[in-house]
Amino acid sequence: MDERIRRRIFRLGWVALCAVPTCLNAAWCCYRHTPHYAQATTEQWQQELTRSLGAELFMARVEQPQPGHLRFHNLRVVDPETSIPWVRIDRVDAVQSDRGWVLVVPRAEVLGEQLSEFLAIVHDRFLRRARPHATEWELVVEQVTLHEAASNRSAKNLQVRIRNTVEGPRAEIEAAVVSGAEDKPVRLTVARHRQQSPALTRWTIDTRESSFPCVDLARWLPGMVMLGEECVFEGLLTFQNSEAGWEGSLQGRFAPVDLESVARKVTGHTLTGTGELLIFDAEFSGGRILEATGELHFQDGRIGRPLALALASNNGLRLRPTSRLEKMRQADIGFRQLALAFRVSEKGLELRGRCDPDRSDAIMNDGEGPLLVEPGSSRVPIAGLVRALSSDRDATVPATQEAERVSAVLPLPSANVASGDRSQSR
């Protein structure tokens, strides 16, 4: 081959294999620093994350400081129907690892009124529709602020891990609620069980040495809101939503419980005081208690005289009133302690006094001594509590709103217990 031809071939090869790729890479590097590329990349990520999350997501820009590291600026997650913001985040650093993605967020703001809707979408997208062997995620948020109508609350060191197990996707959420000098974490575990038919999601809240606001529990268990705005839960709660409704188990402590807030929901009578509710063990299904044991302790409250007498009547809880209570004529009666141990099931309600160490059967007392003592029988019918709290306690089954609210959460008595109750109340 002629020397000139060989040189031309070499020159063409150098141009095609070296010069052109170098120029294209240089042009690509220059283009990546243009506003047009930045805008196109931002829009692409917005569309991808909106499709994955199921809610509209907006961001200011996206950067890639190094391979496998993305940085998103000024993110907003909004309701796809109302355009109300759910979450605001200044910056997210996403780092890809061998097992999946790790997201680091210095600070996030969440709108409290929309938290339930946001959690429902996250549950549906990341747990219900997650494919087997899907990418695992870990989210670390250093500071979270929950904006609500009444006040703002904060949590720190929020960690969320979404991983795959044999039974199905599993999300583990841990955060320390900022409340006082010592902040200890609360753990929320959300596990999807696909080996059951139909598949279901099991929620577990373990406060360990911390506490969980009851207003947040009310997002799943609406009855918790009646315990008062300041009430918190300390303990272990496991529940799942089946075809019959919410079912699960509970062990823990509720405090401070506001009796006046409870009374507004379940009775038309006067009942005030603050204290604690201890649940040693409780099981519920379909939103109704199946069986529960525990104690309640309240101090420095007032009870309406009609309610006190209703609790003591044969048609109510059959508590035994002392002679001092029977002689009182004031509309509201003050008490120093209201304390009792209870066990409730389909068989009825068992009550034991916990007020006075000198008199173990006292359920309610004032500064001068007992007012109500435990019933003479070992077990009283559940219907007695419904009738006592109702304004129409003469009826066998009161047709009032209070009676409906109370009976909706209490165990349904068995046929034998119900027939025995009717015969004794005649």
> Among the listed ranges 132-141, 153-162, 374-383, which one has the minimum average pLDDT value?
132-141
169 vs 22, 206, 208, 344, CA distance in Å? 46, 19, 24, 36
Q: Are 262 and 227 in contact (CB under 8 A)?
A: yes
**Is the same domain home to 199 and 304?**
no
Compare 402 and 371 and report the one with higher pLDDT.
Answer: 371
pLDDT of residue 358: 61
> Among the listed ranges 61-65, 134-138, 330-334, 344-348, which one has the minimum average pLDDT value?
134-138
**Is the same domain home to 206 and 258?**
no
pLDDT of residue 395: 53
Write out pLDDT tens, residues 121-136: 777 777 776 666 667 8
> Among the listed ranges 72-76, 95-99, 249-253, 261-265, which one has the minimum average pLDDT value?
95-99
**Is the same domain home to 164 and 50?**
yes
**Is the same domain home to 310 and 387?**
yes
Q: Is residue 136 part of a domain?
A: yes
pTM: 0.78
Write out pLDDT tens, residues 140-151: 999 888 887 666
Q: Which of 209, 228, 208 has the alpha carbon at shortest distance from 217?
A: 228
Q: Is residue 19 part of a domain?
A: no
Q: Is residue 174 part of a domain?
A: yes
**Is the same domain home to 164 and 75?**
yes
Q: Is residue 89 part of a domain?
A: yes
**Is the same domain home to 200 and 308?**
no
**Is the same domain home to 258 and 387?**
yes
pLDDT of residue 181: 46
pLDDT of residue 421: 52
Residue 415 makes CB contacts below 8 A (sequence gap 6+) with none
**Is the same domain home to 60 and 131?**
yes
> Among the listed ranges 38-42, 73-77, 288-292, 376-380, which one has the minimum average pLDDT value?
376-380
**Is the same domain home to 96 and 163?**
yes
Tokens at residue 24, please?
A: 């294209």
Mean pLDDT of the region 55-65: 89
Over pLDDT 90: what percentage of the chain? Answer: 23
**Is the same domain home to 196 and 76?**
yes
Q: Is residue 195 part of a domain?
A: yes
Q: Is residue 325 part of a domain?
A: yes
**Which of the listed residues 179, 210, 241 is the one where a domain comes to its end?**
210
Please classify residue 362 by burial: count the beta carbons closer than 10 Å to its beta carbon, then call 0-12 exposed, 13-18 middle and 19+ buried: buried
Q: Is residue 24 part of a domain?
A: no
Q: Which domain holds residue 350?
A: 252-426
- Give me the DSSP letters along 122-187: HHIIIIISPPTTPPEEEEEEEEEEEE-SS-EEEEEEEEEEEEE-SSSEEEEEEEEE--SS---EEE
**Is the same domain home to 206 and 261?**
no
- If you ran DSSP here, which 8-state letter would residue 16 be given? I
**Is the same domain home to 292 and 425?**
yes
pLDDT band, very low/low/confident/very high, at 92 (cuts 50, 70, 90)? very high
Over pLDDT 70: what percentage of the chain? Answer: 87
231 vs 55, 214, 261, CA distance in Å? 32, 6, 11
Compare 135 and 57 and report the one with higher pLDDT.
Answer: 57
Per the structure, the count of domains in the chain is 2
Q: Is residue 2 part of a domain?
A: no
Compare 24 and 233 and report the one with higher pLDDT.
Answer: 233
